[in-house]
């Protein structure tokens, strides 16, 4: 309790010393996002933005700028002032994988943006056709080792969590599978349902439609614990795969570098408060998104951990988007 009181005292002092932060926001706020309209991250950002707008008594506008591997949104937001009135929604791959996927750009996201507030974490399921002979991860890995290169897995793009998750599974299990990238998520799972490719990672919102139609099965979730929305789906470890395989993506809000600490802390505090709202929780649950309330140092720590993992996988597999 004393630590909490000390934090509040420090925050109050910081706000008193920074009039701009104390009155933030006194005009509309824009959140630029690298995700398309209608996507899961866009849908939850809109309800978070609505709740923030009610809390701040200012409008919060979502500005969708998908494309270019995230660079369309990144380049637009990077030109804004670091005053908290333009924020940027990115996932952990935009933050941690871009420097290694686009080496010629010499671009490190955290050299240009500061983490401000966490939003949610997305776990990924291992999806196979309903007709697949594989009942668990042990079956999949056994088949991949028996015929190196023959088993294929799909993803929604080179450098995506689905792609890098497959490389991580190869690394941990000593197997060798072939990656097949798709342009559209819907096309990917239609193809998985037909058995070509053999399997894919998938988030609940991206694969749930075709799962409910009975055309694919989930043989595992690549997470340390089972997911409440799909309690009968075992973890990778429970299904006979490597326990270290934790394939997820976390989404957060960032600001152009230079945002003052007091404004940053106010935004984070208000976002975390909004994440407790029952309506927001219900929306997140629909997508199996797990709200996260990390501190800024924790956000940086998790981004660094992913960066180290992605660097290893991208260099090992010679992946490049240059």
Question: Confidence class of residue 16 from pLDDT cuts 50, 70 and 90?
Answer: low
What distances in angstroms separate CA 276 from CA 96, 119, 205, 272, 288, one per listed residue? 27, 11, 21, 7, 15
Contacts of 146 (CB under 8 A, 6+ apart): none
CA distance 320 to 322: 6
- Indicate whether this model's pTM tops 0.85: yes
CA distance 225 to 246: 10
At 35, is the secondary structure helix, strand, or coil?
coil
Tokens encoding 319:
């992946």
Tallying the residues shown for the chain, one arrives at 322
User: Taking phi first (over 0 means left), then psi (-120 to 50 degrees means alpha), and beta for anything else, what does residue 290 get?
Assistant: beta
At 236, is the secondary structure helix, strand, or coil?
coil
Residue 260 has pLDDT above 80, yes or no: yes
* pLDDT at res. 183: 85
- 85 and 223 Cβ atoms separated by less than 8 Å: no
How far the first Cα of the chain sits from its last, in Å, is 51
Q: Dihedral of CA 24/27/33/38: which sign?
A: positive
Burial class of 322 by CB neighbour count within 10 A (0 to 12, 13 to 18, 19+): exposed
Averaged pLDDT score across all residues of the chain:
93
pLDDT one-digit tens code per residue, 92-138? 999 999 999 998 888 999 999 999 999 999 999 999 999 999 999 99
Residue 49 has pLDDT above 50, yes or no: yes
Set out the domains of the chain in order of their start, with CATH numbers. Answer: 29-122+249-317 (3.40.190.150), 123-239 (3.40.190.10)
Backbone angles phi and psi of 27, in degrees to 5: -155, 170
pLDDT one-digit tens code per residue, 154-189? 999 999 999 999 999 999 999 999 999 998 888 999
């Amino acid at each position: 309790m004393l630590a909490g009181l000390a934090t509040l005292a420090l925050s109050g002092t910081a706000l008193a010393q920074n009039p701009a932060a104390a009155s933030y926001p006194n005009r509309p706020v824009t959140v630029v996002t690298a995700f398309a309209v209608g996507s899961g991250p866009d849908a939850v950002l809109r309800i978070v933005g609505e709740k923030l707008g009610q809390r701040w008594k200012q409008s919060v506008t979502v500005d969708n700028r998908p494309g270019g591997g995230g660079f369309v949104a990144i380049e637009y937001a990077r030109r804004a002032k670091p005053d908290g009135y333009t924020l940027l929604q990115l996932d952990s791959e935009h933050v941690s994988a871009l420097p290694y996927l686009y080496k010629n750009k010499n671009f490190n996201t955290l050299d240009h943006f500061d983490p401000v507030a966490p939003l949610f974490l997305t776990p990924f399921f291992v999806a196979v056709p309903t007709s697949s002979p594989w009942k668990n991860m042990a079956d999949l890995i056994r088949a991949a080792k028996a015929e190196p290169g023959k088993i294929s897995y799909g993803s929604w793009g080179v450098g995506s969590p689905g792609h890098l998750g497959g490389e991580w599974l190869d690394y941990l299990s000593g197997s060798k599978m072939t990656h097949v990238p798709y342009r559209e998520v819907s096309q990917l799972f239609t193809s998985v349902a037909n058995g070509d490719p053999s399997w894919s990672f998938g988030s609940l919102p991206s694969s749930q439609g075709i799962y409910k139609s009975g055309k694919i099965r989930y043989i595992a979730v690549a997470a340390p614990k089972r997911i409440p929305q799909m309690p009968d789906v075992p973890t990778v470890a429970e299904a006979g795969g490597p326990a270290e395989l934790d394939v997820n993506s976390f989404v957060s809000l960032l600001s152009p570098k230079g945002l003052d600490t007091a404004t940053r802390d106010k935004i984070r505090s208000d976002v975390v408060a909004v994440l407790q709202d029952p309506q927001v929780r219900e929306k997140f649950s629909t997508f199996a998104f797990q709200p996260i309330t990390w501190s800024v140092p924790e956000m940086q720590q998790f981004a660094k951990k992913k960066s180290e993992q992605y660097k290893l996988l991208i260099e090992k597999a010679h992946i490049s988007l240059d």
